[in-house]
Structure formats: structure tokens, C-alpha cells
Amino acid sequence: MAKSSPVFTCSACGAVHKKWAGRCDACGAWNTIVEEAPLSTGPKSLGLKGRLLPLTDLATQEAEPPRAGSGMEELDRVLGGGLVPASAILVGGDPGIGKSTLLLQAAASFARRGVKCLYISGEEAAAQVRMRAQRLGLTDAPVALGAETNLRDILTTLDAERPGLAIIDSIQTMWLDTVDSAPGSVSQVRAAAHELVTFAKRRGVAVILVGHVTKDGQIAGPRVVEHMVDTVLYFEGERGHQFRILRAVKNRFGPADEIGVFEMTGAGLQQVANPSALFLSDRDTPAPGSAVFAGIEGTRPVLTEIQALVAPSNLGTPRRTVVGLDSGRLSTILAVLEARCGIPFAGLDVFLNVAGGMRVSEPAADLAVAAALVSAREDVAIPPDMVLFGEISLSGALRPVTQTENRLKEASKLGFSQAVAPSRSKLGQGEGMRVRQMPDLAAFVGEMFGA
Ligand code: TYD
Ligand code: MG
């Protein structure tokens, strides 16, 4: 057999290169290419034909997969309505954010509902996991615990036990004896994930893989793990806040962009059924620079408070500090305010923040951001019973956004009575709200602030 030469893999995107280079051609990242032992190609194929099925035979099966609910509603919704058998799920997040806590609670909930659960920890000893379970009050749940990192042993156990759900915490600690590099390396993570996903599909076991995320927000190891699994969930939150958000970024069995909201307490993670109330709870008297955005996260409307502070700068290039929003979007909105509405921010430091540690990525937040900025600059408060939404185009026009009715309904439910929306929005019933429709940003700023 010819001796296989070493390969070089990019630890960011998983691309394979023939020789080392400082920069990966595939993803453009610097200093990410590492030498790896070559992947074993396994025994040669015997040339047998793969089994084919006509699509029509599948029609007799149910269109919707049968799902197991955990009873943790925030989790079930993010999964698309429950756990699908034989699916592979990746849960990523920063170390210490609460992934192990979440999954231990999830395992207990599934087990209490009759799903056979195996929780394999590669990071903590079984005694440590049991101690945590005790503190969380989960010791009555029939979850089988394992502390193991050798994937071969784990697969043998899974094959013998045939659970409904296996949780692997974390994929970076697993290693296969057929792969010649250290646990956590690109080839180990990729091979281990591949084995587990294949096992899930073949044996009808749902598998949840925990993955740590690197500083720049990538799941450590190759991105390819994200492509292998059916569902990718991110568990995120700000360190200083107790709120944690479980976000679906890919889901073959449900809507992507769905979120579940939890609160980290001394007794583990508690579900937050009404996030709007939570994110708005610490609003006191109306202050300049605060605007409430009626947003949509996945299938659910969520109200968040956008806060802006504008102050004279003593720097050559004024500060632009953003938390919870895209900084590129802030630059665009500042440019539109200056060019289309004649409101300059030159010489002013701008700080923008989404209250409660929430992240907002919807373009529909543009109008609330602009309103908070102008409100802070002009020192004029926005009425406390007003919500805003609408996308701002470069011409300064306001574009209608989706699900106007749902946004208004949620705002009305939480005691808001007026809204500002783009012209031509589909208002439906209006939900008893006084809705002002605005064609462009200049008209809104003129009416609201007289600027
Ligand atoms: P953990 O689930 O170990 O994080 P991960 O698996 O993502 O690395 O969570 C660790 C943090 O959660 C730790 O800082 C302590 C905190 N925590 C609580 O606040 N309350 C609790 O009941 C538990 C179990 C953990
Ligand atoms: Mg952990």
C-alpha cells in the first residue's frame, strides 16, 4: 500500500490543502491551516449496488415526522415542535454559557416522558454530573449517565442500549482510534461527528452533539460538522446577563431563526414564556434615546428596547459602539439620517444597545434604531406607549416588513397603544392600535421631532 502523505486542513472551514500556507484559499482565514494525519479511507467497496427506493412508496408514510416533546416548551419550539427520531442536532455555544446544564435538564425532561436517554460526558466525571443533577433536582429522572471519550466504546454502548436520545457532551472531547491526531483536532471532530451522525441515521437514535464555539463565533473544528447534522442550535447570551437564548440557525425539521428564551438561576435554567415582558421589564420613565422595536424572532413576536446615547466627542474619529446590533447597519442608518434628513452625527460619539442582552438581526429594526438615535441627539423622548418597525432603504424610504399584524398584536397585548409603520403595511385589524404610516424617514423625523 502506498504511504499516504500528510494533509493540511483549515481549522475554520475544513478545506483540505496539499501543502501548508499562511492563508486558506477557500475561506480566506489566516493562520488556520494545520497538519493532520490523512483520513483513513476504510476497506475498499465491494462494488455492490446501493439499495434504491421509489419515491412513491414513501408517500404512504406520514408527511410529518413523529416527534417526541420534552415538555420544555422553549426547547421543543426551537426544535420545530419536538425531537425527530434519527436526527442529529448540534448545540453550539461559548464555554460556560450553560450548554451542559440545558442538556442535562432536557435529558431529564425527555426521560420523564418515556424517551430512553443516555447522557455521555467527556468533560466531567459521572459523579460531577450526578452532583449537578442533584442540585437541579433531577435525580428522579431515569437518565443513564456515562463518562467516556472513546467513541468506539460509546458506539458499542449505544448499539446495546438503543436509546431514543443520546447526548454527547462535547464532540471536541471524543476520539476515534482510527484517526491519528489529538481529540479536538479537525480530523477527530469531523470523523467522530460523521460516525455519530451515521449511527443516528442507521439505528434511528436521535443524537445531540455539544460543540464549543471559538472566540470569533465558529464551532471549533471544521464548519463541516454543521453541514453533517440536521439541526444547528446556538446557545447564546451576554456574560453579565442571566438571559440565555437558544437559537436555531439551521433546521431540516422546522423553521430556522426560531428562538427559545431561558433565564439562568441558582436552580438551573428556567423557561421564559413571555420574553417581551422580560426585555421591557426594567423600563422606567420615558427617557430620550429609547425606542421600542416590535420584532419577530422565528415564529414569535418579541418586543425589545433599543437604547442610544449621543455625546460630543473629543476624538478625531468619533466612537461608534454597538451591542446587540450589526455595526454596519448603524453606519448605514447614520449616513441616511445625514444625507436624507439633514441630521449630522459628525463630532458626536454614538453608543447603541439592545436592552436585556438580546441580539436583533432583523432589518425591520432600522426605524426604531433611527428613532432612538434622533431622540438621543435632539433630547426628545419618544412616547412610552409607542412601538416602531420598518426597514430603511438608502434613499431614505421606509419599506414594509412581514407579519405587521403579529407585531401589532403583541404590542397591544403588552399595553402599547400607538405604532409607527411604513406606508403600505398590511395592517389587518390593527388590533386597536393607533398606527401612523410613514412613507420615508424624513417625514417621520419631521413629524416626531420637528427636525
Ligand atoms: P455549564 O452548563 O457547565 O456550561 P457549558 O456546558 O456551556 O460550558 O454552565 C456553567 C455555568 O452555569 C456556570 O458559570 C455556573 C452556571 N450555573 C448556574 O448559574 N446555575 C446552575 O444551576 C448551574 C448548574 C450552573
Ligand atoms: Mg459543559
The per-residue pLDDT for range 194-240, each reduced to its tens digit, is: 999 999 999 999 999 999 887 666 666 667 788 899 999 999 887 77
Distance from the alpha carbon of residue 102 to the mean position of ligand 2, in angstroms: 9
Nearest-atom index, ligand 1, CA of 135: 22
Binding-site residue set for ATP: 93-100
Binding-site residue set: 93-100
Q: What own/partner pairs with CB < 8 Å and gap ≥ 24 does 268-276 have?
A: 268/101, 268/105, 268/135, 268/136, 269/98, 269/101, 269/102, 269/105, 269/244, 271/72, 271/73, 271/74, 272/74, 272/243, 273/73, 273/74, 275/300, 275/302, 276/301, 276/302, 276/303, 276/304, 276/410, 276/414
Ligand closest to CA 91: 1
- List, for residues 356-403, the tens digit of each pLDDT value: 778 899 999 999 999 999 999 999 999 999 999 999 999 999 999 999
d(CA 382, CA 448): 8
Domain ranges for the chain: 1-36, 67-273, 278-449
pLDDT of residue 192: 93
pLDDT of residue 1: 46
Distance from the alpha carbon of residue 98 to the mean position of ligand 1, in angstroms: 4
Q: How many CA atoms lie within 13 A of 34 on its CB side?
A: 16
293 has pLDDT over 90:
yes
156 three-state secondary structure: helix
pLDDT of residue 4: 60
Nearest Cα residue to atom 9 of ligand 1 = 98
Torsion of CA 214, 218, 220, 224, to 10 degrees: 180
Mean pLDDT for the stretch of residues 307-325? 94
Nearest Cα residue to atom 1 of ligand 1 = 98
32 has pLDDT over 50:
yes
Mean pLDDT for the stretch of residues 38-61? 64
* Model confidence band, residue 332 (pLDDT cutoffs 50, 70, 90): very high
Mean pLDDT for the stretch of residues 44-56? 69
215 three-state secondary structure: coil
Q: Quick one: 67-273 is in which CATH superfamily? A: P-loop containing nucleotide triphosphate hydrolases (3.40.50.300)
Instruction: Name which residue leads in pLDDT, 306 or 28.
Output: 306
282 has pLDDT over 70:
no
Which segment of 23-27, 50-54, 168-172, 311-315 scores lowest on mean pLDDT? 50-54
The residue to mutate among 99, 100, 101, 243, having the most atoms of ligand 1 within 8 angstroms of its beta carbon, is: 101
pLDDT of residue 370: 97
* Model confidence band, residue 276 (pLDDT cutoffs 50, 70, 90): confident
Nearest Cα residue to atom 22 of ligand 1 = 268
60 has pLDDT over 60:
no
303 has pLDDT over 90:
yes
In this structure, are strands 300-312 and 290-297 parallel, antiparallel, or unpaired? antiparallel
pLDDT of residue 47: 62
Distance from the alpha carbon of residue 196 to the mean position of ligand 1, in angstroms: 26
Nearest Cα residue to atom 16 of ligand 1 = 98
d(CA 176, CA 182): 9
Mean pLDDT for the stretch of residues 151-157? 94
pLDDT of residue 51: 75
Mean pLDDT for the stretch of residues 133-158? 93
Ligand 1 binding pocket, CB closer than 6 Å = 93, 95-101, 132, 135-136, 264, 266-268
Nearest-atom index, ligand 1, CA of 242: 19
* Mean pLDDT rounded to a whole number for the chain: 88
Return the CATH number of the domain spanning residue range 278-449: 3.30.230.10
Smallest CA-to-CA distance from 201 within 171, 173, 221, 229 is with: 229
* N- to C-terminal Cα separation, the chain: 78
**DSSP letter, residue 40:** P
Mean pLDDT for the stretch of residues 397-418? 92
pLDDT of residue 43: 57
In this structure, are strands 386-388 and 268-271 parallel, antiparallel, or unpaired? unpaired
Q: Cβ–Cβ contacts within 10 Å for residue 68, how many?
A: 18
Nearest-atom index, ligand 1, CA of 95: 8
pLDDT of residue 214: 72
414 has pLDDT over 70:
yes
Identity of the amino acid at 374: V
pLDDT of residue 48: 64
Identity of the amino acid at 350: V
d(CA 315, CA 313): 5
The partner residues of 391 in beta bridges, in order of sequence, read 399
Mean pLDDT for the stretch of residues 292-321? 92
